[in-house]
Amino acid sequence: MSDDANNSPAPVDDLFDLTIVGAGPVGLFGAFYAGMRGMKVKLVDSLAELGGQLSALYPDKYIYDMAGFPKVLARDLVRDLAEQARQFHPTICLEEKVTTLTPVDGGFELGTEPGRTHRTKTVLITAGVGAFAPKKLENAGFARFEGHGLHYVIPNLSIFEDRRILMVGGGDSAVDWALHLEEIAKEVTLIHRRDGFRAHEDSVRKLNASSAKVLLFHELKDLQGDGRIARAVVFDNRTQAETTIEVDEVVVNFGFLANLGPIRTWGLTLEKISLVVNPQMETNIPGVMAAGDITTYPGKLKLIVTGAGEAAMAVCTAKMRCDPKASYFPGHSSGSATFEPGAAH
């Protein structure tokens, strides 16, 4: 459904300066910055709410690497980004999956699964990793515990209060969740198959200083219980020695399976599952920009904070395409003058 406009099917929509595909944090900031540049903006997303993965998968997870916040809950970050973007009244269309991108009259038409057509001068793709689904445990027999103690996402923290939790994984999400759940759980045990974490060094330091029990070189062998998880069998992959742990909840953090879906058919240059962009965030199709986790270029960092900067650059590129007389750099929002690129200031 549409957040700010009527979402009834229509063959053709009004012409927009910029249509942003993906209403996660990068897309929301892009909508705000495009408003700052005086552009007519539309946001389109396949999900039912703003925020992308932050809202759909971990609204109660703390985000630590966003500028200006010592730490911030994902849901609160989305709320603030949405409030920031709405200052300029973008049209927001939710539950619409963009399936086609067609060049038309110097601009584009975007076709969506409900049958709508969105007309736009430029496009900014901020679709994150595209469609996403959590990577699951290989043992198909464990599926019987999904919804009965086995979790791949955490949409609600309350179910973990005063529970014995086993965390499986060694990336940022696993480490961050272990630290977060430690505050409310009865006990937290984290197992990781190696001795090196794929997480920020400060988070690992905090984990090692916490009350969470960390078992390195350990993997999950079995889940046991009568209808609901009651025990987990883990093993040391060096010695094969097994340990049975009494647990109430098991959280698996192996990352997500990304799928670009229809975006693969739009004629964009890809590197694996990422869109190749230049320093101005342009794809190989003039007028189509991309920003955030969906992009790749030398030195790419997949962080929300860098994605926000990429969105600003993409918007400035789009602005110049819509208005050739416009400057790429309009000046600082805190300044009283407009600066030209390269001018001393």
**Distance, CA of 184 to CA of 187 (rounded, Å):** 9
The answer to whether position 260 is within a domain reads: yes
Q: What is the model's pLDDT at position 54?
A: 87
Q: What is the model's pLDDT at position 335?
A: 58
Domain end position, chosen among 252, 272, 295:
252
The answer to whether position 140 is within a domain reads: yes
The answer to whether position 6 is within a domain reads: no
The answer to whether position 168 is within a domain reads: yes
Same domain, 231 and 144: yes
The answer to whether position 50 is within a domain reads: yes
Same domain, 209 and 288: no
The answer to whether position 284 is within a domain reads: yes
Q: What is the model's pLDDT at position 293?
A: 93
Same domain, 245 and 267: no
Q: What is the model's pLDDT at position 157?
A: 86
Where residue 225 falls (left for φ over 0; alpha for ψ -120 to 50; beta otherwise) is left
The answer to whether position 331 is within a domain reads: no
Q: What is the domain-level CATH number for residue 223?
A: 3.50.50.60
Phi/psi of residue 220, nearest 5 degrees: -85, 130
Which amino acid would we find at residue 97? Answer: K
CA 83 and chain centroid, separation = 18
Q: Which of 19, 26, 22 lies closest to 90 in space, CA to CA?
A: 19
**Distance, CA of 52 to CA of 138 (rounded, Å):** 26
pLDDT, tens digit (0-9, with 9 covering 90-100), for 281-317: 999 999 999 999 999 999 999 999 999 999 999 999 9
Domain end position, chosen among 227, 252, 277:
252
Q: What is the model's pLDDT at position 267?
A: 97
Q: Which of 44, 56, 29, 130 lies closest to 94 in space, CA to CA?
A: 44
Same domain, 100 and 156: no
Q: Which of 219, 214, 254, 213 lies closest to 236 in space, CA to CA?
A: 219
Q: What is the model's pLDDT at position 334?
A: 65
Same domain, 34 and 179: no
Q: Please give the tally of structural domains in the chain.
A: 2
Phi/psi of residue 38, nearest 5 degrees: 75, 30
Same domain, 126 and 141: no
Same domain, 147 and 286: no
The answer to whether position 266 is within a domain reads: yes
Same domain, 170 and 113: no
Q: What is the model's pLDDT at position 13?
A: 64
Residues of the chain with pLDDT under 70: 1-13, 130-132, 333-345
Same domain, 164 and 226: yes
The alpha carbons of the chain give a radius of gyration, in whole angstroms, of 22
Same domain, 267 and 312: yes
Same domain, 67 and 79: yes
Q: How many CA atoms lie within 13 A of 16 on its CB side?
A: 27
Same domain, 184 and 155: yes
Determine the structural domain holding residue 245 and report its residue range. Answer: 136-252
Domain end position, chosen among 222, 252, 282:
252
> Can you give the pTM of this predicted structure?
0.77
